[in-house]
Amino acid sequence: MAEGIERVKCLIIGSGPAGYTAAVYAARANLEPVLYTGKEPGGQLMITTDVENYPGYPEGIMGPQMMEDFRKQAERFGTDVRYEMITKVDFTGPVHKAWSETGHEIQADSIIISTGASAKWLGLESEKKLTNKGVSACAVCDGFFFRGQEVAVVGGGDTAAEEALYLSKLCPTVHLLVRRDELRASKIMQDRVNKTENIKVHWNTEAQEILGENEVEGVRVIQNKTKETSIIPVKGFFVAIGHKPNTDIFKDWITMDSTGYIQTNGKSTKTNITGVFASGDAQDNVYRQAVTAAGTGCMAALDAERYLTEKGII
Ligand code: NDP
């Protein structure tokens, strides 16, 4: 083997709940996992405040604290955590190859992909400034903090419909801001939105600026046909214009759907490439919860362990 090339039994790419859970299981099964965190160690939970729906934390926990606990648990059993990105892979041979951002080559008998997804944002300055101060991309995570208050949701797809419906059970009015004169969401979700009296749909409407200094106080919107602007007073502003799975580096090898979510085989985490497994949001556009990501991370480690056992590697 050439100098500088490292051989590992199990390489885990990504450090959200899926990656760290895979690491806990893989380390305890003696797979001696090496985990590359990626550029956002801890993943999407690092931009959440209180997590109140993860079982086992009756008082709730801050997202970043929870991810630190996940990391410590993975390290306790010997996971080698590296704060770097994997920027390139090659899955042509029986041994899979991956390169870190510094050009270090790793040859892995098994790989667990847990690179997650990133919420898409509108790109407004005020959105960045007020993230976690009333601006959120996850109603299930943060909606509870706005119960009894007016909120806005941006988007017209299934995610926006789902977020609006979720919030409609907590908030007196949900203002759904849709940039066209129709929803992209599935028919059934459109029907649900239309039947929900406290969801007020603002057609042909775009957010121009989210108002407030240390908390959201409202949103200035523009009616894109008449160009009229107005202010809707809201305390919560939810961006629901879709997620993008972080799977670009795998696209030459791994079977994905048209939006880049990795397809797994049946009830397993197996991908189309033998020895490569996928877990968490990189392969799930439906549930997208920390607890479901952790569950599939566990599955991926068990699948990898079985694969390595069958191959006689462990
Ligand atoms: P989609 O891409 O389907 O929809 C995104 C929506 O956001 C569109 O209405 C789009 O408008 C709007 N949008 C995009 N950019 C902007 C912007 N800059 N300003 C304002 N609006 C914007 O994403 P989803 O996350 O909703 O859905 C992704 C996939 O996941 C879909 O296949 C969906 O069916 C699936 N899904 C399924 C669920 C379920 O089955 N329960 C739940 C959630 C998602 P426009 O229409 O004008 O392009």
Q: Tell me the CA–centroid distance for residue 120 and ligand 1, in Å.
A: 10
Which atom in ligand 1 lies closest to the alpha carbon of residue 161?
26
Q: Are residues 78 and 28 in the same domain?
A: yes
* pLDDT for res 48: 72
Which atom in ligand 1 lies closest to the alpha carbon of residue 120?
15
Which atom in ligand 1 lies closest to the alpha carbon of residue 122?
18
Q: Tell me the CA–centroid distance for residue 243 and ligand 1, in Å.
A: 8
Q: Are residues 225 and 133 in the same domain?
A: yes
Q: Are residues 34 and 109 in the same domain?
A: yes
Report the pLDDT averaged over residues 78-102: 97
Q: What stretches of the chain adopt beta strand conformation (E)?
A: 5-13, 34-36, 50-51, 61-62, 80-82, 86-90, 96-100, 105-113, 117-119, 135-136, 151-154, 174-177, 199-202, 205-211, 218-223, 229-232, 236-239, 243-245, 276-278
Instruction: Give 1's pLDDT tier (boundaries 50, 70, 90).
Output: very low
On the question of pLDDT at 5 being above 50, the answer is yes
* pLDDT for res 238: 98
Helix axes 17-28, 290-310, angle to 10 degrees: 40
Rounded CA-CA distance 184/204 in Å is: 13
Which atom in ligand 1 lies closest to the alpha carbon of residue 155?
7
Q: Is 141 designated active site?
A: yes
Binding pocket residue ranges, ligand 1, CB within 6 Å: 122, 154-160, 162, 179-180, 184, 186, 206, 241-243, 285-286
Instruction: Classify residue 261 by its DSSP letter.
Output: P
Q: Are residues 249 and 105 in the same domain?
A: yes
Q: Is 138 designated active site?
A: yes
Q: Are residues 177 and 256 in the same domain?
A: no
* pLDDT for res 47: 73
Q: Are residues 50 and 34 in the same domain?
A: yes
Q: Tell me the CA–centroid distance for residue 71 and ligand 1, in Å.
A: 32
Q: Which of 138, 184, 223 to mutate to test the pocket of ligand 1 (most atoms within 8 A of CB)?
A: 184
Last residue of a domain, one of 183, 205, 239: 239
Q: Tell me the CA–centroid distance for residue 105 and ligand 1, in Å.
A: 37
Report the pLDDT averaged over residues 225-239: 98
Q: Single out the catalytic residue among 138, 171, 281, 303.
A: 138
Q: Are residues 44 and 132 in the same domain?
A: no
Q: Are residues 114 and 157 in the same domain?
A: no
Q: Tell me the CA–centroid distance for residue 44 and ligand 1, in Å.
A: 19
The rounded Cα 130 to chain-centroid distance in angstroms is: 20
Domain count, the chain: 2
Report the pLDDT averaged over residues 185-202: 97
On the question of pLDDT at 197 being above 90, the answer is yes
Q: Single out the catalytic residue among 10, 90, 109, 141.
A: 141
Q: Are residues 102 and 28 in the same domain?
A: yes
Report the pLDDT averaged over residues 7-16: 98
Q: Are residues 28 and 57 in the same domain?
A: yes
CB 15 within 8 A of CB 84: no
Which atom in ligand 1 lies closest to the alpha carbon of residue 123?
18
* pLDDT for res 4: 77
Instruction: Give 55's pLDDT tier (boundaries 50, 70, 90).
Output: very high
Q: Tell me the CA–centroid distance for residue 233 and ligand 1, in Å.
A: 24
Last residue of a domain, one of 239, 256, 276: 239
Domain, as residue range, for 83: 5-118+243-310
Q: Are residues 98 and 145 in the same domain?
A: no
Q: Is 142 designated active site?
A: yes
Last residue of a domain, one of 224, 239, 254: 239
The rounded Cα 21 to chain-centroid distance in angstroms is: 15
Q: Are residues 230 and 152 in the same domain?
A: yes
Closest C-alpha residue for ligand 1 atom 18: 122
Domain containing residue 139: CATH number: 3.50.50.60
- Give the bridge partners for 7, in sequence order: 107
Per 3-state DSSP, what percentage of the chain is helix, strand, and coil (rounded to 5)?
30, 25, 45
Q: Single out the catalytic residue among 10, 109, 142, 281.
A: 142
Reported pTM: 0.82
Q: How many CB atoms lie within 10 A of CB 161?
A: 26
pLDDT per residue over 250-284, tens digit each?
999 999 999 999 999 999 999 999 999 999 999 99
- Between vectors from CA 201 to CA 200 and to CA 202, what angle results, nearest 5°? 115
